[in-house]
Structure formats: structure tokens, C-alpha cells
Amino acid sequence: MQSQAIRKVVIVGGGTAGWMTAAAMSHFFNEMPIEICLIESDQIGTVGVGEATLPHLRYFNQTLGIDESDFMRRTQATYKLGIEFAGWGKHGDAYIHPFGDYGFPLGGVDFHQHWLAQRKLGNSYPIDDYSLGVVAARNERFSQPSQDPCSLLSTFSYAFHIDASLYAGYLQEYSVAKGVTRVEGKVVEVSQQSETGFIQSVTLASGSVIEGELFIDCSGFSALLIEKTLKSGFEDWSAWLPCNRAVAVPSAGVNKPPPYTRATAKTAGWQWEIPLQHRTGNGQVYCNEFIDDDTVLRDLLDSIDGEPLCEPNFLRFQTGKRKSSWKKNCIAIGLSAGFLEPLESTSIYLIQIAIMKLIELFPDVHCASAERNEFNRLIDLEYERVKDFLILHYHATERNDSAFWDYCRTMPIPDSLQHKMELFREQGHVVEYESGLFLKPSWLAVYLGQGLIPRGEHPCASQLPDSIVKSELDRMRRLVREAAESMPEHQAVIENLHAKINTKPAPDARMSLYGVGV
């Protein structure tokens, strides 16, 4: 009987998506007779809209056995404790969306419910003061989180700012060492089986024909296989996420890169600032229906620190996703599957989740509909929940100073987001779910950071005496500040990476009956 197992996987396209896919497959299938071939062309540039990541990339690297210190040195990385949003709720405001919690529950009731009650009494400070990740970021401090779940130092996480091209090269080296074959060339023709419509081969400009049984489309916005060949279809979300252009330009690095990304609201979009060891990534995301390219470029060049290192790179995109990321024997990963703009650094996460779901549901040569449907269901769910979270940033605003922000503030929003916002407005309830990227602290950061304050709080928040709650909140705030101030400076930690010196964690703090204690 002929074997039904897949023997050859062809990845079309390199960059971050292609080499992350190749690295993961070469790791998980290292002992299996599966040939992995990646095709990329040096003539086709990669899209480097953003170089900021989410904490999930740490676990991806750990799964592959990658040493974090080596990774950071090789990719010129810095640490990232969160994202600062300036001017999104209204002019002059700024908040940090951290990777971590706010405070501790008191008497079994969520911290933010007590904070809301104390805020009415005038007894609370900004909620940022109760987040170790935020306070450390503001003070430009960093240390590794504690593994002790009772420790205050376990209440935050971290990600990275990386040079994406260096990361792709790092993973290429990793993958090739594990047996992945890299083929240089540009795909000019795609052949399909006459009966099934499955892709059976691709032809390169050189005339070489490369056959395979499973094809991964990492060809970026061109979506060479999933759309141009298989006609998957596209769900357009630009009515809710209207930005459709970006311009990027790196600049000379700053002496002390901060451990957070900056996202500053602009007239018709927003500007990013991503600090690396060797340079700073800058750019603006905007909607060309409300502003022209030349005006955006002038504003970007006027607002960056340091000398530009190359010519500006203009990019066009459409927000949305493929109707099916997996069709026949082709799986789209990365920009070929969809794009929800660089806000909140979700692109690499969506690459990562697609890779891991594919490995979990890895098919035989028939690519059964049950596996395809489950993969598409899970990926759709991820995109939908990211979509709602990104729309929230644009919609939850008081800004009325431009046509762009007027549109975002008044636009109809998806019913799913409308439900989440209405529930929070009443008593501060945050809709939770098992699957999906952004959890309760993330939603709290944006709701409260952009001025969406609930009308009331949960009744159980009044069970404890106000004096005890105030005392506990004051103690939390003090301990957070002391823990952050005890951390090493972020710049010192980066320098220690090159000196191969391990930093010591800040002094510990443990929970008491109501929250944190000495």
C-alpha cells in the first residue's frame, strides 16, 4: 500500500514568516522523513513595517531551544515591557499597555473593581501606578520576572524589539543546520493537479520545477499561492481599520533605548518608534483618504530623533484576512493570510499561532477537510479577536480634531466589540475567553487609558471597609514603586548581554490576605 504521509513541504517565500515556519518544522519533524524546501528570491524585498513583538515569541524561541542571550545579541534586540499610547484618547494623554497585571485581587474581587470604587472617593492614583511593568518601563528598568507565583515580580512579562531581517537570517541559519533546503529563485508559474486542484509544483524563473505535497504560502501581500492561484477570497475590514498606508525609515539609535514601544496618534493615523541596540525603527501608519503621502513623510522626518539611515519605504496594504487560510494543500502564513496593521505588534504572533496550529493538525497527502476546517476556524477566531481589540483603540477616543478621528469615533463597530464595550461601561466587566490573544489586563489598559470609565463597579467591591482597601492600594503602589526602582537599568542589562553577565532579580514581595505584603 502506498504511503499517505507527506514527504515534501515547499515554503514559498522567506522573511520572518517563511523562516519561522521552516525553523519550527525542522525542529518538530527533525526525526521524520520530511523534506522541507524554502524558495525565496533576493530580488524581492521583505516588508519590515514593525520590529516589536509580543511575549509569545519568547516561548517560540524556547521551544526551538534557542538561547535568549544569543538571540538578543544576534538580532540587536532590546527588551519590551509594553507599548506607550500617546494622544489616543485625547491630546496630551499617554498610557502604557503592559504585559502584566494591575495590582492583586482583594477579598476575592478583581483589583480594578476596588480601584474604580476608590477612584470615586478620590482615594486612588492612576491605575498605571499599580502595574510593575508600567512603572519599570517609565523608569527604564528591567529584570527577568520571578518564577514564584506569589511574588510581585511574577506579575509582569516581557517581549522584544528585534531587527526582523536579522531574526530571519538567524532562523535561516538554524533551519539549514537542521536540514532545510533553501532555493534561490522567483516563482513564475504554479501548476495544479487537474482532478483535485491541489498545487503540485512551482516553476522558477530559471526553469527549475519544484514539486511538493504540501505548500506554505509565505509570499507576503502578493499571496501568490493562496489567492492568485487558489482564489481563497478576502474579507475586507477597512471600514473598521481604515489605515491603508505606511512609511518606514530607520534612524540612528539613542544612547539609552527605553524598554517599551511608542505609538503616537497623528492627524490621520499614528507613528511608531521602536528602539533597538543599533538603531531606532520609525514609521507612520495612515489612511490616504484623509492625508497625502508628502505631508506624512514631512511630519515623520521632522519628528524622529537621530539621522535617517536610508530612504523612506512606502507600503500599501488592505486590512482584513483570507476567507480561508488553508485551502486544498496550501496554507497561508503571514501577510499572505491577512494583515491587521502594526498596531499592538500582532503580526509575528499571528505567524506563530498559524505555524503551531498547522503542526498540531499536520495532515497526510489528502489534506482532509476536517483538519482544514478546524485550522481555519481557529485562525479566524484569532483574527476576529485581534480585530476587535485594534478597533477599540481607534473608536474609544474623544478626539474630534481631524476628519480621520471623527470617522473613527463615530463609525459603526462590530456587534462583538459593541457588546464588550457596553458590558464594561456598566460595571467594569471584561469579557473573557479561553482562546485569543488579549486577556483582561490588556482590555483594561485600553479602556481606562483612553478614558472609558465604567458607570459603576461590582457590588462585592463594597464588602471590605474603604479604609482597609485604601490602605492596601497604597501599599501595593509603594511596593510596585520600590520593586521597579530596585531593578537594574535597561541599558545596563543590554550591556550585560554582551558581557555575558546575568542580572540579579529585584527584591521579592509576597501577597498578603488582601493583596501584596512585605
Among residues 150, 169, 225, the alpha carbon closest in space to that of 46 is found at 169
Arithmetic mean of pLDDT, 88-108: 95
Each residue's pLDDT tens digit, 130-164: 999 999 999 999 999 999 988 999 999 999 999 99
Residue 178, helix vs strand vs coil: coil
Residue 3, pLDDT score: 63
pLDDT at 440 over 80: yes
The cell for 129 is 501606578
Are 315 and 201 contacting, i.e. CB atoms less than 8 angstroms apart?
A: no
Question: Rounded to whole angstroms, how far apart are CA atoms 186 and 204?
Answer: 5
Each residue's pLDDT tens digit, 243-293: 999 999 999 987 899 999 999 999 999 999 999 999 999 999 999 999 999
The CATH-assigned architecture of domain 8-76+163-236+322-385 is 3-Layer(bba) Sandwich (3.50)
pLDDT at 511 over 70: no
Q: Name the residue with cell 524589539.
A: 161
Q: Hey, where are the domains in the chain?
A: 8-76+163-236+322-385, 100-158+395-517
Among residues 264, 269, 237, the alpha carbon closest in space to that of 87 is found at 264
Residue 433, pLDDT score: 74
The cell for 450 is 483612553
Which residues are identified as catalytic?
80
Helical axes 15-28 vs 164-177, angle rounded to 10°? 30
Residue 241, helix vs strand vs coil: coil
Percent of the chain scoring above 90 in pLDDT: 88
* Burial label, 262 (beta-carbon count in 10 A; 0-12, 13-18, 19+): buried
Residue 315, helix vs strand vs coil: strand
Each residue's pLDDT tens digit, 162-186: 999 999 999 999 999 999 999 999 9
Residue 44, pLDDT score: 65
**CB-based contacts of 85: which residues, under 8 Å, 6+ apart?**
94, 95, 96, 97, 263, 265, 393, 446, 449, 450
Each residue's pLDDT tens digit, 354-412: 999 999 999 999 999 999 999 999 999 999 999 999 999 999 999 999 999 999 999 99
Among residues 372, 365, 362, 346, the alpha carbon closest in space to that of 25 is found at 362
> H or E segment at 167?
helix 164-177
Q: How many CB atoms lie within 10 A of CB 365?
A: 14
Residue 51, pLDDT score: 85
Q: Name the residue with cell 484569532.
A: 382
Higher pLDDT, 132 or 124: 132
Each residue's pLDDT tens digit, 25-72: 999 999 899 999 999 998 765 555 458 999 999 999 999 999 999 999
- The neighbouring-strand residues paired with 192 are 199
Question: Rounded to whole angstroms, how far apart are CA atoms 344 and 82?
Answer: 9
Higher pLDDT, 512 or 369: 369
Percent of the chain scoring above 70 in pLDDT: 94
pLDDT at 477 over 70: yes
Arithmetic mean of pLDDT, 315-337: 97
pLDDT at 502 over 60: no
Residue 163, helix vs strand vs coil: coil
Q: How many CB atoms lie within 10 A of CB 400?
A: 11
Question: Rounded to whole angstroms, how far apart are CA atoms 431 and 443?
Answer: 9
pTM: 0.92
Question: Rounded to whole angstroms, how far apart are CA atoms 346 and 265?
Answer: 18
**CB-based contacts of 465: which residues, under 8 Å, 6+ apart?**
none
At 493, give phi and psi (nearest 5°): -65, -40
Each residue's pLDDT tens digit, 201-214: 999 999 999 999 99
Which CA distances in Å does 517 have to 97, 152, 236, 362, 504? 25, 9, 50, 48, 21
Are 130 and 115 contacting, i.e. CB atoms less than 8 angstroms apart?
A: yes
The cell for 181 is 533546503
Mean pLDDT of the residues in the chain: 92
Question: Rounded to whole angstroms, how far apart are CA atoms 4 and 6?
Answer: 7
